[in-house]
């Protein structure tokens, strides 16, 4: 069997995630589990759209990454491709933006690993293609901050998702389908 308890993180728009425990997504009491992008990494940091300062999303979300690299954040997916090209070419600003994002991701992920003890952390969405630059700084933070010695056995447990962005869109379509089939199950009380 494969990994059945893991933390999945994506950065398509903000920074979102899911904790999968024994193959089941943990949704939380109000359906908001996985809002890891709003974990504060710097209380004196930039204002986030949620109203807090210094949320992870302000350092590792798509718009923040592009802005830090000097790329128009409104370019979306094209901007991520440009960021990847610039980083591959060794452009200092692009590599620096990715290292900073990887560092901040690692700090937050270490906290999540200490709380939930997953078998692995899987990076998907835009993080999948940016893994060559994010992995080192993120893994350094995980190594420094995760308290369980077992986490570090057999090397890094930080992995790139094997699923493309199309898979994420398919999963989102499935959720919409489920809501339309049974809206009462998703009603806010």
Tell me the pLDDT tens digit for each residue of 7-59: 999 988 889 999 999 999 988 898 888 899 999 999 999 999 999 999 999 99
Q: 15: helix, coil or strand?
A: coil
* Structural domains in the chain, sorted by start: 6-163 (3.30.420.40)
Tell me the pLDDT tens digit for each residue of 109-163: 999 999 999 999 999 999 999 999 999 999 999 999 999 877 777 666 888 888 6
What secondary structure does DSSP assign to 58-109, as a single string? HHHSHHHHHHHTTS-GGGHHHHHHHHHHHHHTT-HHHHHHHHHHHHHHHHHH
Beta strand 24-26 pairing with 16-21: antiparallel
The 3-state DSSP composition of the chain as helix, strand, coil percent (nearest 5) reads 55, 15, 35
What pTM does this model have?
0.83
pLDDT at 1 over 80: no
pLDDT at 177 over 50: no
- What is the average pLDDT across 96-115? 96
**pLDDT band at residue 178 using 50, 70 and 90 as cut-offs:** low
pLDDT value of residue 186: 45
pLDDT value of residue 68: 97
In degrees and rounded to multiples of 5, residue 121 shows phi and psi of -120, 125
Share of the chain above pLDDT 70, in %: 84
Report the distance separating Cα 49 and Cα 58, nearest Å: 9
* Mean pLDDT computed over every residue of the chain: 86
pLDDT value of residue 72: 97
Residues facing residue 6 across a β-bridge: 20, 120
CA 94 to chain centre: 18
Tell me the pLDDT tens digit for each residue of 48-91: 999 999 999 999 999 999 999 999 999 988 999 999 999 999 99
Residue 1 has, within 13 A of its CA and on its CB side, a CA count of 6
Report the distance separating Cα 87 and Cα 81, nearest Å: 10
pLDDT value of residue 155: 67
pLDDT at 165 over 90: no
């Amino acid at each position: 069997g494969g990994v059945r308890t893991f933390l999945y993180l994506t950065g398509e728009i903000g920074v979102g995630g899911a904790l999968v425990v024994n193959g089941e997504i943990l949704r939380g009491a109000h359906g908001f589990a996985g809002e890891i992008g709003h974990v504060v990494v710097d209380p004196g940091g930039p204002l986030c759209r949620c109203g807090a300062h210094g949320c992870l999303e302000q350092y590792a979300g798509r718009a923040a990454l592009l802005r830090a690299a000097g790329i128009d954040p409104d370019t979306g997916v094209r901007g991520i491709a440009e960021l990847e090209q610039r980083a591959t070419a060794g452009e200092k600003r692009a590599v620096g933006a990715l290292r900073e994002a990887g560092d901040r991701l690692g700090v937050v992920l270490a906290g999540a690993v200490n709380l939930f003890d997953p078998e692995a952390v899987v990076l998907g969405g835009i993080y999948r293609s940016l893994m060559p630059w994010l992995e080192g700084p993120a893994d350094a933070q995980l190594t420094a901050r995760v308290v369980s010695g077992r986490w570090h056995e057999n090397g890094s447990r930080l992995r790139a998702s094997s699923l493309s962005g199309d898979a994420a869109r398919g999963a989102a379509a499935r959720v919409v389908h489920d809501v339309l089939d049974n809206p009462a199950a998703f009603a806010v009380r």
